[in-house]
Amino acid sequence: FVLNSTTFILFLTNILLFIYYHFNIYFNYWRERGVPYVRPLPFFGNIKDLFFQRTSEALHYAWLYNKLDGHRFGGIYLLTKPVLLVRDPQLARRILDADVKYFSRKKYLETDQQPNPFCVLDTDVITRKLLRNKLSPIFSLNRIKKTFHVLVNYSASMSKIIETLILYESINIAEVTTRFVTDVYGYYALSFDISSMKDFSSPFHEMSRRLVKSRVSSNFLGFIHRYFPKLRFLVKCFIDHIPQNFFLRIYDAVVNLRRTNNIVKEDFLQVLIDLGNLKKYSGEANHSNQDATNPTTNIEAFDTWPQKELLGKLNSIRTLAFPNVRMDIFDF
């Protein structure tokens, strides 16, 4: 019995030493390079509170930012992965401009050889310039002003509806907010009025409600999808695909309508359509690249390949941005 106890203690000690040594190797990255860093915890790095859903991502990164107060930059750990956190705006500008070639493709996430759909800065140089040129007009000053007026109009409409309903019944503010957000998103994503605030039987509202029904579960699945890329296949088993497919069908219907009738508008949907057209062109160029006897074609195909790589995930990006819809619901 004494021997067995001693063996067990030695075994447990070896396990603890192995764990300590294992994480000590990972967490020496910033210290060995003389970079100030936020002290990590074993297993979790600097995202323990995010892992247990105790705070939001924005608040947590703000906390990490403040922990590096007094430094132009510092290091953090996403689990065991070292990540550079830049605090100085001038330094960030230099990284994104003059020194961009040294930081290109330094993504901390595995994205199946595709650009990270959550952040343009995680893409390569050519892809970033492509997206910036396409997306910049959407966020111009005039566009922001128009956005403000649209929000004011939808807010005024929501206020009138609430003032009317509150005279006769109690109001579920969460449901009203969901309808408001659905209308605003629908206007900007699909460029037409969904009117889920006015039509309480709107299928849009039902599908939007299903999307946000389990917020805690969705946040946790999002955490797994982002920080554990190798476990993404498990996330698909817990996702409600019905609302996703519903909105995606609407997206396809609107896109097909515009292409068939040559309708062009200055909105975010048009940007996605242009990117889709560019994807088709890039695919043709890449197919031509197989002819090694034509050096000019090879050069053109090489130049368009990063764009093809970007746009190969377009379906995933649009699925995340705006799920789906039936053509027969709407009168275009």
Q: Residue 111 pLDDT more than 50?
A: no
Same domain, 94 and 165: no
Q: Tell me the average pLDDT across 219-229.
A: 67
User: Which residue blocks in the chain are alpha helix, DSSP H?
Assistant: 2-26, 29-32, 48-51, 57-67, 89-96, 100-103, 125-135, 141-165, 173-190, 203-211, 215-227, 232-235, 241-261, 268-288, 295-311, 314-321
Q: Which residue has the tokens 């519903």?
A: 246
Percent of the chain with pLDDT over 70: 61
Same domain, 194 and 92: no
Q: Which of 51, 79, 103 is the last residue of a domain?
A: 103
Same domain, 146 and 216: yes
Query: Are 240 and 212 a contacting pair, CB within 8 Å?
Result: no
Query: Are 88 and 73 a contacting pair, CB within 8 Å?
Result: yes
Q: Is residue 300, in this structure, part of any structural domain at all?
A: yes
Give me the domain span that covers residue 163.
141-329
Amino acid at 242: I
Same domain, 146 and 80: no
**Backbone phi, psi, residue 87, to 5°:** -105, -30
Q: Is residue 179, in this structure, part of any structural domain at all?
A: yes
Q: Residue 196 pLDDT more than 60?
A: yes
pTM score above 0.85: no
Q: Residue 108 pLDDT more than 60?
A: no
Which pair of tokens denotes residue 308?
């093809």
Q: Residue 217 pLDDT more than 70?
A: no
Distance CA 43, CA 78 (A): 10
Q: Is residue 24, in this structure, part of any structural domain at all?
A: no
Closest to 76 (Cα-Cα) out of 116, 39, 33, 23: 39
Q: How far is CA 228 from CA 19, 110, 139, 183, 321, in A?
A: 20, 9, 32, 33, 21
Q: Residue 249 pLDDT more than 80?
A: yes
Give 23-47 as a DSSP string: HHHHTTHHHHTT--BPPPBTTTBT-
**pLDDT band for position 318 (50/70/90)?**
very low
Q: Residue 195 pLDDT more than 50?
A: yes
Least confident interval from 109-113, 156-160, 187-191, 217-221: 109-113
Contacts for 161 with CB less than 8 Å, ≥ 6 apart: 176, 197, 198
- Which tens digit of pLDDT belongs to each residue from 282-303? 544 444 444 433 333 332 333 3
Same domain, 77 and 177: no
Structural domains counted in the chain: 2
Same domain, 73 and 181: no
Distance CA 140, CA 98 (A): 24
Strand, coil or helix: 73: strand
Least confident interval from 21-25, 190-194, 212-216, 315-319: 315-319
- Which tens digit of pLDDT belongs to each residue from 51-72? 887 888 889 999 999 999 989 9
Q: Residue 120 pLDDT more than 60?
A: no
Q: Tell me the average pLDDT across 240-255.
A: 80
Q: Is residue 134, in this structure, part of any structural domain at all?
A: no
- Burial class from Cβ neighbours inside 10 Å (0-12, 13-18, 19+) for residue 5 reads exposed
Q: Which of 73, 103, 133 is the last residue of a domain?
A: 103
Q: Tell me the average pLDDT across 220-240.
A: 69
Q: Is residue 187, in this structure, part of any structural domain at all?
A: yes
CA 277: distance to chain centroid? 22
Same domain, 95 and 206: no
Same domain, 168 and 238: yes
Distance CA 161, CA 140 (A): 32
